[in-house]
Amino acid sequence: MKFGNWEATGGFFLLMAWLNYLDRQMILPLALAACMLHELGHYWAIRAMGGSVKQIRLTAVGAEMIVSHSLNYWQEGIAALAGPAVNLLLARFFCCLGQETLFSGLNLVLGCFNLLPIRCLDGGRALHCALCLVVGPNAAEQVGKWLSRGFSSLILAGGILLLRGGGNVTLLCVALWLLILEVSHEKAEK
Residue 1 pLDDT grade (very low, low, confident, very high; cuts 50, 70, 90):
low
User: So what's the pLDDT on residue 178?
Assistant: 85
Rounded CA-CA distance 153/38 in Å is 26
Tell me the one-letter amino acid at 186.
E
Among 127, 93, 97, which Cα is nearest to 108's? 93
Percent of residues, the chain, with pLDDT higher than 70: 96
86 backbone φψ class: left, alpha, beta (φ>0; ψ -120 to 50): alpha
Ordered strands of the 6-8 beta sheet? 2-3, 6-8, 53-59, 62-67
pTM of the model: 0.86
Position 3 scores a pLDDT of 67
Q: What is the pLDDT of residues 150-161, one digit of tens each?
A: 999 999 999 999
